Copies of this chain bind each other. A is one copy, B any other.
Amino acid sequence: MTKILVVDDDQDLRENLVEVLSDADFSPDSAGDGHEAIEKLASDKFDLVLLDSIMPGMGGMETLPLIKRKYPKTKVIMLTAFSTVDGAVEAMRKGADDYITKPFKINDLLVTVRRCLEEAKFVACGEMLNMDDTFKCLANSTRRKTLSLLKEHDKLRFMDITRKLDINDHTKVNFHLKILKDAALLEQDGRKYYQLSAKGNKIIECLGTITSC
């Protein structure tokens, strides 16, 4: 059952939303401010949070980055009464997955909620890919260098890679290229040029972030 946490200081709205979400076959819970939301999230796993941006105590704008840091997979939709473009942009920059202004039609909210969850599902299925191979691949510096070479020069041939890596034994490079290919981090086009796959590209992106800490 998909669990949704409703965070709003307006008790009426909260109860109303909980009821609507229940009717829509979700499993909702609610919190009255940011602190309570953090507590609920710590004790229970939620798929999505509906977060009011302005609340007494800890508001949604402060809570949002905390939630996203600790539970990046949990989707967050911001709700707000006073809608400004700046506010919306700020919320999205802080990691909100969507943004809805009050008053809203229940149906619009449900549409947004479902869309968010669909995206989550899409992401989750990618997780099925065995990450083990991916990480095993990345454990080797020759292979990491190969990936970053291919990031820089979009396409390279076998011997180009060998020379750029400054490795005299070309069969050794071949060995590593095969492993990279098996992990689907790179692929070959018709002319035997090696290039990063979509997955390889993403990985390389993430590598940048990791490497800079």
Count the copies.
2
- Taking a contact as CB atoms closer than 8 A, the residue among B69, B125, B136, B208 that contacts A212 in the complex is B125
What residue in chain B is nearest A70 (Cβ atoms)?
B151
In chain A, residues 134-161, which have Cβ atoms closer than 8 Å to a Cβ of chain B?
A: 134-136, 138-141, 144-145, 148, 151
Number of interface residues of A (CB under 8 A): 49
Q: Are B85 and A126 in contact (CB under 8 A)?
A: no
Given A85-B101, A98-B89, A203-B213, A141 and B148 contact (CB-CB distance below 8 Å): no
CB neighbours of A139 from chain B (8 A)? 135-136, 138-139
- The distance in angstroms between the C-alpha atoms of A212 and B148, with both chains bound, is 20
Judged by a CB distance under 8 angstroms, whether A127 is at the interface is: yes
CB neighbours of A191 from chain B (8 A)? none
10 contacts across the A-B interface (CB closer than 8 A): A69-B205, A84-B85, A88-B88, A89-B99, A92-B92, A124-B208, A127-B211, A131-B211, A135-B139, A135-B141
